[in-house]
Amino acid sequence: MMKLNYFLYGLLWCISSSTNNISVINNDSIRLKTEQQNFTAGTTIVLTFSGSEDASIRLYCSNSYGTTLLNPKVTTNELQYILPAHISNKAGVVQWKLLNNASSLSGIVHIVPQEQPVSLETYVGPPSIEAGKTDYTMLVTIPTDTFDNPLPENTKVTLRRQFLSSEQQDTIKTSNLIAYQNMYAPIKSGRMLLATECLNLNSKEYTVEIMPAIATDFEIFSKRSHEYADGNQLTTFTTSILKDKYGNTVSDGTYVEFIIKNAHGNLLKTVGMTIDGVATAQMMHPDHEETWKIKAYVTGISESNTLSLTYKQVVKDFTVSFSKNNRNIEVGPLQSFMKQHIPDGLQVMLHISQNGNVVKSDLKESRNGFVNFELNPNVISNGKYVIHITAAGITKIFKEIQL
């Protein structure tokens, strides 16, 4: 409805007759002498009127950017209006009107851009695209003349591109002041170089990165110095070289998550990022007998096979000795698979309970194969307690301990 209204509005403002040509509705003798209507930007444009020497007659003049009034240069029976450079240099339509009372001379002058470009304003984006035949980048160029006017429609622009061993050349034409081209990504990753040329004017070099596409499924491997659950050594996980479906190695830094499921169904996670397609991650050995199932993911994109690893128990048994009214508990020596003291850091858990309620819990890590617990009389008053000690998956229970 609004559109229709607007259409009516347009109709009502009926268009005057003096449009495309210089109108001659003059009542007195002033006449336009200049016959030329089309000019090239940069040429001096003089509108000469014969039949008057009245210097007070101004010329209304308006182009794309603005409007102004011009004063004449008076010669014998002539008025000369020299369009200032900021009007005669800009392409587009210039409308003029002679502002004398009697006549209403008006008209337009077309200014076309110069043919020779001096600048190729070029925009390339996005600057990086994904290999394969779906993603593309776009090059837009605005060839302009020395006065910053975009060149005329259908000006030819040559677009050259180099990628790996291939070099290609296309011709595009300007339309609506610009010329543009969509460039689809090749299936190989790498760097594409672009350049444009318009009427022997060459642009600078533009680069577009062709990034590898997303990773496909891959394999994982593990490496460990021994198979014992010593809670100390690291198992290292690595992937095969991650590749996209075109065989390009994925970008460095691709985030790979390794999800480890233990015998109880709990999940452990470690991560790594790819370098040259290979991601590496590590996980400390468990401190008790365990079976791990490991699978790696590039989240939402691809996954690996499942690895299974078994760790053997190292601490077979340990001694617990009480002293100082049973308030000092010494656990150890904790011995590893070659009877060596287990490396520092094995966790030992202590629970003290009375009538089924846990009164106090403590967690300590081993040092030189031993752990000592001191039971503070301010915290645990005298009485009978049950004591649980857990280390390396083995739990020992001491009932009726008098403190």
Partner 1 sequence: MIKTDKNIMRGFLVLTYVFIISMLIFLVSSAFGYLNTGADRSHMLHTEVKKEQIYLPKMTWINDGNKGRKLDTQTLTQIENDYLNAWYIRHVAYKTNQTVGIDDYYTENARKNILEYVAQNEEQKITIHTTTLSHEPNIEFFSEDGQLVVLKDTNVIAYKQVYQNETFVTETTEIANYTVILLLEDGFWRIRHLVKDSVETLQNTTQTKKIASVNLQGINYYPQATPWDMYGDNFDLKSIQNDFEIIKKAGLNTIRIFIPYEDFGKANVQSSKLEKLQKVLDAAEEKQLKVIATLFDFYGDYRILDWTLTQRHAEMIVTTFKNHKALFAWDIKNEPNLDFKTRGKQNVIAWLESMISLVKSIDNKHLLTIGWSNMESAHLLQNTVDFVSFHYYDAPADFSQQYAQLKLKVTDKPIVLGEFGQSSYGGFWKPFVGSEKKQAAYFTEMLQILEAEDMSYLVWTLYDFEDIPSKVVGKRPWRTNPQKKFGIIDNKGNKKKAFECIAQ
Binding of partner 1 by 97 (CB under 8 A): yes
The two tokens of residue 228 are: 């014992």
Residue closer to partner 1 (CB basis): 149 or 304: 149
Query: According to CB under 8 A, which one of 39, 136, 337, 370 is a site residue for partner 1?
Result: 136
Residue 81 identity (one-letter amino acid): Y
Rounded CA-CA distance 282/148 in Å is 61
Contacts for 273 with CB less than 8 Å, ≥ 6 apart? 252, 253, 254, 255, 256, 279
What dihedral do alpha carbons 326, 327, 333, 334 form, nearest 10°? Answer: 110
Single out the residue of 78, 148, 227, 257 in contact with partner 1 (rule: CB under 8 A).
148
**3-class DSSP state of 303:** strand
For residues 98 and 179, the answer to whether their CB atoms sit within 8 Å is no
Asked if 285 and 233 touch (Cβ cutoff 8 Å), the reply is yes
- Looking at the Cβ atoms of 61 and 348, the one nearer to partner 1 is 61
- Which residues sit opposite 263 in a β-bridge? none
- Name the minimum Å distance from CB 228 to partner 1: 47
Q: How many residues bind partner 1 (CB under 8 A)?
A: 56
9: contact with partner 1 by CB under 8 A: yes
If you search the block for the tokens 């048994």, which residue do you land on?
A: 317
Choose which of 21, 54, 73, 126 interacts with partner 1 (CB under 8 A): 126
Stretch that binds partner 1, among 28-36, 58-66, 74-82, 298-306 (CB under 8 A): 58-66
Among 51, 80, 92, 295, binds partner 1 (CB under 8 A): 92
Q: Give me the long-range contacts of 324-327 (CB less than 8 A, separation at least 24).
A: 325/402, 325/403, 326/375, 326/401, 326/402, 326/403, 327/374, 327/375, 327/377, 327/403
Binder among 27, 65, 321, 400 for partner 1 (CB under 8 A): 65
Q: Single out the segment in contact with partner 1 by CB under 8 A; choices: 138-146, 155-163, 189-197, 247-255.
A: 138-146
Among 24, 25, 102, 140, binds partner 1 (CB under 8 A): 140
Binding window for partner 1 (CB under 8 A); candidates: 93-101, 191-199, 227-235, 382-390: 93-101
Q: From CA 370, how far away is CA 291, in angstroms rounded?
A: 27
Residues in region 70-89 near partner 1 by CB under 8 A = 71, 84-86
> Six-digit token pair at 40?
């090239």
Query: Residue 71 or residue 171: which is nearer to partner 1 going by CB?
Result: 71
Shortest reach from residue 146's CB to partner 1, in Å: 12
174 belongs to the binding site for partner 1 (CB under 8 A): no
Sign of CA dihedral 337, 342, 347, 350: positive
Cβ atoms 281, 272 nearer than 8 A: yes
Among 39, 60, 246, 322, binds partner 1 (CB under 8 A): 60
Q: Considering the complex, state which of residue 171 and residue 308 has its C-beta at the smaller distance from partner 1.
A: 171
Q: Which residues bind partner 1 (CB under 8 A)?
A: 1-3, 5-6, 8-16, 18-19, 58, 60, 62-69, 71, 84-86, 90-93, 95, 97, 99, 106, 108, 123-126, 136-138, 140, 142, 148-150, 176-178, 180, 182
